[in-house]
Amino acid sequence: MKKNFGIIGNPIQHSLSPVLHNYWFRKYQIDANYTLIDIKEIELPDVIKKIKNGDLNGINVTLPYKQKIVSFIDVLVNDAEITSSVNTIYLDNKGRVVGDNTDVFGLQAAYLKEIDDVDKKKALVIGAGGVSPSAILSLQKLGIRDISIINRTKEKCFFLKKKFNNLQISEWVNLKDVLKNYDIILN
């Protein structure tokens, strides 16, 4: 029986996820399909129902729903528990909808693994949106202790400062001036 997967977001038409996943499904002769699922926020409960009833075997989540979907999920695991941000959702063998976060590992594996002397590095995260909790956790797991965040709307930074210890908030109006103070900048 063919399995159905997809990625939710809005807008979503730019995503190359179907190209990537369908390539691997074909290459390894997996009877599955991966599609774009363009939904509005009000439809989040409906997509979770599709996972529960088997119409979808799993989904990936992108902006703007990485945090918004959390309230509809039965259990958060791994880094999703810490970040309250989800990019992968599936049904476990107990019938629970599980939210996971692979962004943290992906960022570490793809970009951060090459950084030396992490205890001496200063990092700046630009933006307080969907993937920023994962970026902050990736930096913390790497061992970077001096992490700041900057965002056009400072209020969004306060939520992240509560969640992550020792996170500093920089002023948006000072962005150009403060960039030179950091060894690592994630946007």
Instruction: Indicate which residues carry an active-site annotation.
Output: 66
Separation between Cα atoms, residue 103 and residue 87, nearest integer Å: 7
- Does residue 101 contact residue 88 with C-beta atoms inside 8 Å? yes
Task: Report strand pairing: 88-91 vs 58-61.
Answer: antiparallel
124 is written with which tokens? 């700046």
- Does residue 66 contact residue 130 with C-beta atoms inside 8 Å? yes
Number of Cβ within 10 Å of residue 59's Cβ equals 25
Question: Is the preceding peptide bond at 64 cis, omega within 30 degrees of 0?
Answer: yes
Number of Cβ within 10 Å of residue 144's Cβ equals 20
